[in-house]
Amino acid sequence: MSKQRNLKSVLIGGVAMASLTMLHMGTALAADFKEAPQLADKVKAGQLPSVEERLPKSPSVMEPITSVGEYGGTLRRAILGGGDQHNIVRLIGSENLVRWSPNWSSIEPNIAESFEVSDDATTFTFKLREGMKWSDGEPFTADDIMFWYEVLLDERLTPSKHPNFVETAGPVQVKKIDDTTVEFKFEEPNGLFLQNMAYGFGYYVVNFPKHYLAQFHIDHNPDVQKLVDAEPAAADWVQLFNLKAGPMHTPIFWQNADRPTLHPWHLKNGYGATERVVAERNPYFWKVDPDGQQLPYIDQITWDQVEDVEAILLKAFNGEIDYMARHIGRPVNLAALTDNKDRGKYDFYQVGDIPGSQTALMFNLNNADPVKNEIVNNLDFRKAVSHAVDREAINDIVYLGAGNPVQTAPHPLSPFYNEEWAKHSTSYDPEKAGALLDSIGLDKKDEDGFRLGPDGERFTIVFLVADVFGWQYPDVMELVAGYAKDVGLDFQVRASDRSRLFEIVSSGEHDAYLWNCPGGLVDAYANPDCYVPRGQAVFWAPKWAAWGADPSTGTEPPEEIKELFEIYRGVTSTADPAKQEEALVKLIDSASKQLLTVGLIQSNGAFGIARNNLRNHVDPMPIAGQLWTPAPYTSQFYFEGGDNLP
Amino acid sequence: MPQIRMHTEPDQTSHTVQPLVEIRGLKTHFFTDDGVVKAVEGVDLDIHANRTHCILGESGCGKSIMARSILRIVDAPGKIVEGSIIYRPGDGRSVDLAKMRPGSRDLREIRGQDIAMIFQEPMSSLGPITKVGKQIVETIHLHRRVSKAEAKEQAIELLDKVGIPRPSERFEAYPFELSGGMRQRAMIAMALSCRPRLLIADEPTTALDVTTQAQILDLIAELKEELEMGVLLITHDLGVVAEVAEDVSVTYMGKVVEKGDVFSIFEDPRHPYTQALMQSVPKLGMEKRHRLPAIKGMVPHPLARPSGCAFRTRCSQAMAGVCDKDEPGLLKSGKTDVACFLYQEETASV
Amino acid sequence: MSSRHLAVFLWYHPWRATSAMFGFLYRRLLYMIPTVFLISVVTFVIIQLPPGDYLDTLAAELSDSGGLDEGTMQALRDQYGLGQPMYVQYLKWMSQILFHGNFGISFEKNIPVNDIIWDKLGWTFAISLMTLLFIWMTALPIGIYSAVRKYSAGDYIATFFGFIGLAVPNFLLALVMMYVAFKYFGQSVGGLVSPQYLGEPWTFDKFLDLLAHIWMPIVVVGTSGAAALIRIMRANLLDELYRPYVVTARAKGMSEFQLLLKYPVRVALNPFVSTIGWILPTLVSGEIIVAVVMNLPTTGPLLLRALLVQDMYLAGSLILLVSILTVIGTLVSDLLLAWIDPRIRYQ
Amino acid sequence: MTVETTLGPSGTEEEHTPELLGPWALMWRKFRRHRVAYVSLWITGLIYFMALFGDFLAPEKVDETNRRGIFVPPQGIHFLVTDEDGSRSFQLHAKALKMQVDRATMRRSYVQDPDKIIPLGFFVEGYSYEILGLIPSKTHFFGPKNPRDIVYFLGSDRLGRDILSRIIIGTKISMSIGLVGIVVSLVIGVSLGGLSGYYGGWVDTLIQRLVEFLRSIPTIPLWMGLAAAIPLGWPPLYTYFVVTIIVSMIGWTSLAREVRGKFLSLRNEDFITAARLDGLTDWEVIRKHMVPSFSSHIIASLTLAVPLMILAETSLSFLGIGLQPPIVSWGTLLKEAQNIRSIIEAPWLLIAPGTMIVIAVLALNFLGDGLRDAADPHAH
């Protein structure tokens, strides 16, 4: 399939963690910088310092994806009225100290001019760019990072801290070496820290403009109460501070257009309160192209607020969307989008959205019901379910044959791909399934043909399912329930909305649910959620996950699960890529044999649409749960001809 | 026997002028899903100015339809299928109302202005949510070019004339604030607002108590004299007839069975139906325990009209082989005109 | 003047209608107080009915971005002061509304509810009014026609389309209309103005553009209402058309058209006036979906979203305000009814 | 002096022989003359027949998916086949289809297979089911003669399921699930409306305020709140059933207003006064004299409530709080079709259930109208 080949050429897979030594990317070479005409006018009018003063001494020079661009135009998108902040985050928000290369293969400096990792993977030193400025023109220095660190340590403001910055011994030690150098130090080796800093959640460190946020902090501004009084949404200074310094991946951040950022565009109005969100060019943005033109090329970005995904589709047909994959890039829409290509003057680009499993059956292995718990924890039961479903048919019917009918496992494009894992117990064999079920004590049936549990009652598993991501989960679940019925298993389907589902699974009261699994590509390093019950979103074994995070909580898992934790420690505790890979492969191998989740279909990627004259966008564009693309590269997008197509 | 139709000439002694309204051979039928209901089946009638003509008959005899036919306000599916209604506005012209398009301007000018009508139910015959005064003023404005103030003045005058106390206050009242009698007075005031030449009163007193009945009848009589208008009064009440009528037509199933002046009818009723009606009224000096004879049976269903003479099914003197064969025509017999085979040979032999 | 005289004077004075109206108004206003109180309580119960709170929703959404962060959650939980007993929350909310006009904070948007809703309520109100006009303008003539020409071809056509209007779910109509507008007229879809006017100041061109868009939601939202009203108008008018007072008017020499409008139609108008009372809850509640599909800047999508994510004060305030507006709408329609039909005043 | 009520201008009784008919017989006679309503009665009857004998009428199993039959457009029924020797003979059949997949656009299209026809027939063998849940059977009213063939008379959906069968099977749920709710609101509406109209005074004021209050609460938030408050573990049909009942507890207001109006006007009628003077208790007066005099009106209200219920179900399904798959109802069918993709690629998904809903609603509305007209002694 041509799509796969294409993707393969870019997503070469293995993380080139080669650079344990100093990585230094092209320092300033252009003596004379150029700027957008609209900014030049402002400079002339004296409203803005010259471009040389605005840029850091050594701006980040972006290698063009295809060609050097030209200024102008508005990038038009649509955004849902609520809960769609990632529409903004992933387009402009993800500018961290370091970034992944466009093909997700290596880590490059971004806000940091350079970085250094100690051999034992405990000390990480970032060199910042001298003269770099926030979007309001104030300097960005190590003090801003230290201010973030202060907030992190402050129990009043951050009672519980993001796992990226904590280890068993406690929070990371952050030290300001000088105005442009910051050092992060861990007690134990943290082999994934640099990756985590390049992934989405690395944003925390560089989003705390001290000059702006200090006014809301009682230690820095004793008069903060006045500001509290003026803000109806806050009752005390902690609330006020949290309101003004909200996390970037939550709506709060994007509702406050006053907060200075390091993003290529800066919001003009808050998200949620108006019909259109507008982001304007950040005149102090710190990236340039090889010709010395200050980025971004595109003047502004607009998000028209809509309430229904169908409206986005119609807007796309009408040529009112310039670049978008979110909400519309699903196989079901492909035919209609193809039909309207000429009308909307757009074409497709590939999105490397490749999870470990796009649709996986997740049994709650910590079920509160002892009877159910015993059965679902039996590997033969999960094997039986796996043999009972016809993955080929599901793939054909629901996904038009676009996916791979395999278990939760690395994708063929991944360096860890192993056919054995992918094909483990995937054959459609109801007889074998029946025999397996008979063998584990589910051999009696009631008059409707459903198997009885050891307690003599009908053995029923209630599956929660929500229609999310456009992957037609309810349809898949309906088919699965049909196959289960064929082998005498009573799978009850409960369709719900996402938050309702989430609420139930987080309370651990569920039998099972249908969701996806990360870890199809190299994100398996940082996000092995389906290979080891580690993390806060592991709802197939919430109590083991709790135990894994803190052995005084949750339930102690059986030996084979404990072993998984142990193996994964091998990934995190070293900075040696070879050892990391070795450990990870071992982890997946062990997890795969246990069929922790029953994967059904694995995606081969999605697509997006880009207007015909939009250049320099990444195609195919890798994306993942924590890989918030196209953000670090959006500033390079440009319209050929300097404006949108009419 | 061939049907004989005789045009009864108006009594030359009492009326030298031509009748105000001259109805000839009027047939009004209702075309229902179940068949044709012949509500008015060949009626001749003369109404004279300054005289009161009563139409007498039981309920369901087509009296109201006859009256409504004159103004052409018979509701669908009713239709005039034959006959003429000649109206003489007094300027020498004569128009055939039966030939006019219902709802045409000419017809509408005659309604309310030349010929006015009052109805049986004063409770529901006035617009329920429009002030009484306004309804009268509206009628005046329809036919007279006068200012608002003048119209109001006239209306209050009219209310006063029909005997409504405190007319200027009542002008502002809604119908539901008035008693039945008052409402009928208001109706009369409205009907008289353009000084009509003919007033059709369709059972104007049926729904009222006895005292009020008398008052209203007196009022109509008074106003008739004053305005010199003709009055067509429809009633089933012989008492009313006796009190106000000058001419009387007795109807049965859409036909006039006997007609004449009031005295002749009361003195010497000829038609068995008229006779039966007369007998059903208590008379002064009658013994207390005297049982009033009722007419036997009920009026037949309009769709089940008996052949021949329609009354034969209830007639004590019906002649088999005669009455069920042909319909009797209206012929002079005694002082009245009668449509009955009992008298036809007698007349013929004369 | 003695009190008896005064009473007589008032009774017969032309103003008495007005005084009766005042009594009616006074009574009705008094009744509104317990009603509104009950509404506020029930509103609060409704928004508290679903288990969980806004933070559960937020947590669900954040899981999309690659994981949950307990620190963020904890800070937010403190932020919103969730977890107090329900009656405390209610009392706090009500006292803020009553004494400060403060409807609370939207959790999801982090701005006072006051800053969000009035604009949207304005649009809702405007569209309601226009829909009302549309309903009246279509239902009145068609209803009258259907009644007067009962069982004519026109009546059957009107009846048929009326029932179709009743039978087709309006969001379906919205979707199909949007698609047709897009496919055959090339119109930009959704919203009330074209994208180029979004967020721009009001100009005449923008107003024209608004007119080019706004008819669609009005037709979609109004269709079922109009259809229902046509049926009601037809039935009511049929009841009135054969009343004696109509014959009286005809006998007076009034033209059919004149008498129709002056008498039976006026009497049959009651349900039209009643629409004022129910149009607002219908628009806000029944037409939430239309607003979502057609992307209207009304309260509908805002309310739906607020309910879904359990943005408690925003949802509560919207329901409360809409309910109160409905009570006021009912009052207005009752007053109008009393004005049109004097019989009601004296009941 | 004979005083009778005058016959109205159109005073025409239809029977030639004056025989006394009971009110129900009179109503029936009147009703039958309303032709559209009479036809609607038959259609309604057919729909309920469909609800009762769905499995018999449905050619395919309702949840039977088919990899080779996704988005098949409606297939026509043909009558004549040409034999090899060129002669034509009568044989009900449908043309067999071949699926073609366009991988680039992920679109399936179908072309007729000229070599193959699918013979159709009545009372054919198909999947096994139980008539009325009692008698096992394999006979289906109409369909392909070979049980292994599938013909999509109204097209198929995204999972290759037969729309015709789904519509037929969905009838049962759509036409029944809300009925209990309707009965609940009927009982409350009639009792409270009756109390309000019969006693007047403070009872009336109180009930009227209650009605006003209930009417001013927007219903969708209430539905959503209720639906979310019900535990997800409950079977979806049960959940929906409970929600309809709760909602019907506040949905009685318009009926109560009508009943109140009726009571108000009846209260002063002579026959009620007479009954009261006869010494009947209030309850007896209501039960024996007042309720019968507008029971026909109640029946009409009932028929008019059913279409509202069908529409409410579709709206709620749209919001995701109505019925959910795998339950099949007209609302869920319509919900599945509510996207641009269906409108463009498979309009039959929208048209078929949409038409069915329109037909049902029209029939029930006309039926209700006819009943009301027939029941109303003042109708013209």
Domains of chain D and CATH, by start: 73-154 (no CATH), 168-375 (1.10.3720.10)
Alpha helices in chain D (DSSP H): 23-33, 35-52, 54-57, 163-176, 179-199, 201-215, 219-229, 236-248, 253-267, 270-277, 282-284, 291-293, 295-319, 330-336, 340-345, 348-375
Query: Is there an interface between A and B (3+ Cβ pairs < 8 A)?
Result: no
Contact B81, B261 (CB under 8 A): no
* Predicted complex ipTM: 0.76
| pLDDT at A476 (0 to 100) | 92
Contact D212, D250 (CB under 8 A): no
Contact B267, B338 (CB under 8 A): no
Phi, psi of B294 (to 5 degrees): -100, 160
DSSP state of B111: B
CB proximity C247 to B under 8 Å: yes
Q: Do D4 and B33 touch (CB under 8 A)?
A: no
pLDDT at B10 over 50: no
By three-state DSSP, how is residue C123 classified? helix
| pLDDT at B346 (0 to 100) | 52
Q: What does the pLDDT look like over A423-478, one tens digit per residue? A: 999 999 999 999 999 999 888 888 888 999 888 889 999 999 988 877 889 889 98
Chain C residues touching B127 at Cβ < 8 A: 245, 248-249, 262-263, 266-267
Residue with the larger pLDDT of the pair B285 and D354: D354
CB proximity C242 to B under 8 Å: yes
Of A86, A161, A242, the CB nearest to C64: A86
Q: Do C289 and D319 touch (CB under 8 A)?
A: yes
Residue whose structure tokens are 């026509």 = D76
Q: Do B112 and C253 touch (CB under 8 A)?
A: yes
% of chain A beyond a pLDDT of 70: 95
Highest averaged pLDDT of the listed ranges A582-596, B174-188, C35-49, D235-249 = A582-596
Tell me which residue of B102, B67, B313 sits closest to B199, measured CA to CA: B67
Q: What does the pLDDT look like over C63-116, one tens digit per residue? A: 655 445 566 666 666 666 666 677 777 888 888 888 888 888 887 777 788 888
Q: Do C343 and B143 touch (CB under 8 A)?
A: no
Phi, psi of A639 (to 5 degrees): -95, 125
Q: Do B108 and C251 touch (CB under 8 A)?
A: no
Average of per-residue pLDDT values in chain B = 80
Chain D residues touching A397 at Cβ < 8 A: 65, 67, 70, 158-160
Distances (CA, A) of B283 to A395, B65, B278, C179, D119: 103, 31, 10, 84, 91
Of C242, C249, C266, the CB nearest to B75: C242
| Least confident piece of the model among B63-72, B209-218, B232-241, C54-63 | C54-63
E-assigned strands of A81-172?
A: 98-100, 107-109, 112-117, 123-128, 166-167, 170-171
By three-state DSSP, how is residue A331 classified? helix
| pLDDT at A610 (0 to 100) | 95
Taking residues A42-70, what's their average pLDDT?
91
Taking residues D160-166, what's their average pLDDT?
92
| pLDDT at C331 (0 to 100) | 81
CB proximity B155 to C under 8 Å: no
By three-state DSSP, how is residue B176 classified? helix
Q: Between vectors from CA B212 to CA B211 and to CA B218, what angle results, nearest 5°?
A: 95
Contact A551, A542 (CB under 8 A): no
CB proximity C14 to B under 8 Å: yes
| Alpha-carbon span D207 to D219, nearest angstrom | 19
Task: Pick left, alpha or beta for residue B112 (phi over 0 → left; psi -120 to 50 → alpha; otherwise beta).
Answer: left
Q: Do C242 and D362 touch (CB under 8 A)?
A: no
Give one DSSP letter per residue of C266-288, joined into a string: HHHTHHHHHHHHHHHHIIIIITH
CA distance C203 to chain D (A): 33
Residue with the larger pLDDT of the pair B144 and D13: B144
Q: Would strands A598-601 and A490-496 be described as parallel, antiparallel, or unpaired? A: unpaired
Q: Name the band, by pLDDT with cuts 50, 70 and 90, for residue A148.
A: very high
Contact C131, C223 (CB under 8 A): no
Tell me which residue of D3, C315, A403, D81 sits closest to B237, measured CA to CA: D3
| Alpha-carbon span A550 to C15, nearest angstrom | 82
pLDDT at A57 over 70: yes
| Alpha-carbon span A448 to D133, nearest angstrom | 13
Pick among D61, D65, D71, D127 to test the A interface (most A CBs inside 10 A): D65
Q: What does the pLDDT look like over B15-67, one tens digit per residue? A: 456 888 888 888 888 887 777 888 888 888 888 888 899 988 877 778 888 88
Contact A38, A264 (CB under 8 A): no
Chain C residues touching D232 at Cβ < 8 A: none
Distances (CA, A) of D202 to B304, D197, D205, D257: 53, 11, 5, 16
Contact D315, D322 (CB under 8 A): yes
pLDDT at C62 over 70: no
| pLDDT at D377 (0 to 100) | 55
Q: Do B111 and C250 touch (CB under 8 A)?
A: yes
| pLDDT at A73 (0 to 100) | 92
Chain D residues touching B73 at Cβ < 8 A: none
CA distance A535 to chain C (A): 7
Burial label for A603, CB within 10 Å (0-12, 13-18, 19+), is: buried
Taking residues C274-281, what's their average pLDDT?
69
Q: Do D217 and C319 touch (CB under 8 A)?
A: yes
| pLDDT at B323 (0 to 100) | 79
Q: What does the pLDDT look like over D54-110, one tens digit per residue? A: 899 999 888 888 888 888 999 988 888 877 777 888 888 888 888 888 877 778 889
Chain C residues touching D229 at Cβ < 8 A: 49-51
Q: Do D344 and A474 touch (CB under 8 A)?
A: no
Q: Do D307 and C176 touch (CB under 8 A)?
A: no
CB proximity D160 to A under 8 Å: yes
Q: Name the band, by pLDDT with cuts 50, 70 and 90, for residue A513.
A: very high
| Alpha-carbon span A544 to A538, nearest angstrom | 9
Q: Would strands A60-61 and A287-288 be described as parallel, antiparallel, or unpaired? A: parallel
Q: D100 - beta bridge partners?
A: D109
Q: What does the pLDDT look like over D201-251, one tens digit per residue? A: 888 888 888 887 887 777 777 777 777 777 767 777 787 788 777 777 767
Task: Report residue C224 as tokens.
Answer: 């079922």
- Cβ contacts of D235-240, under 8 Å, gap ≥ 24: D235/A492, D236/A494, D236/A495, D236/D323, D236/D324, D236/D327, D237/D173, D237/D177, D237/D323, D237/D327, D240/D177, D240/D322, D240/D323
Q: Between vectors from CA A388 to CA A386 and to CA A390, what angle results, nearest 5°?
A: 90
Residue with the larger pLDDT of the pair D125 and B342: D125
Distances (CA, A) of A644 to A79, A490, A614: 19, 55, 8
CA distance C281 to chain D (A): 5
Contact B24, B7 (CB under 8 A): yes
DSSP state of B279: H
| pLDDT at C77 (0 to 100) | 64
